[in-house]
Amino acid sequence: MVEIEKLKERLKEKSESDDDIGNFLEMLYKIVLENPKSEILEFGVSDRGSSTTAFLLGCHEVGGHLTSVDKRSCDNINKIVGDDNHWTFLKMDSKQFTSKKKFDICLIDSEHSYEQVKAECNVLDKVMKKRSIIFFHDTTMMPQITKAINEFMKRHNCFTSKLKEKNGMWAVELDD
């Protein structure tokens, strides 16, 4: 079972570090708090597990659940989190992800190619709830992914916020 205090310490440490997503962790955490009992999907974890930590802390506080998908084993974050009923980790390529469950919140921060993000957006077409929010990380550093995001937005009635700090983050709110 995960210790909440360890997650809090880890979130503070990651938010203050030079981590490329550090500036956005508090926002991700607060989004979960504002949406109790949310189903959250995360494509891309890495051994740092920074966004995983932010989402999980929020899930513990308001009763949500995080499903993380990465084709790497992510052993470091698994050691920190361990057996946690608020978290499911799936070792697989996110392009292959399917679910009967529908998600409220998603973060895409996996491979940064046009093809990968386009395939992940096709997955999102099937698994996101109406009125959900999707975060795309590294939009400034990896401009090739913005083409896939724009194509996704054309298929949906969306509102977009473009956050420019560090590597960039787009927040896309689905309304259809």
Summarised one tens digit per residue, pLDDT across range 55-82 is 999 999 999 999 999 998 877 777 777 6
pLDDT digits (tens, 9 = 90+) for 6-39: 888 888 888 887 777 878 889 999 999 999 999 9
- Cβ(136)–Cβ(106) below 8 Å: no
Asked whether the whole model's pTM tops 0.75, one would answer: yes
Collapse the DSSP code of 21 into the 3-class scheme (helix H, G, I; strand E, B; otherwise coil) and give the result: coil
Share of the chain above pLDDT 90, in %: 49
Count of domains observed in the chain: 1
- Cβ(82)–Cβ(2) below 8 Å: yes
Distance CA 26, CA 34 (A): 12
CATH number of domain containing 101: 3.40.50.150
Burial of 61 (C-beta count, 10 Å sphere; 0-12/13-18/19+): middle
Burial of 72 (C-beta count, 10 Å sphere; 0-12/13-18/19+): exposed
Helix or strand run (H / E) with residue 39? strand 39-43
| 164: containing domain | 4-174
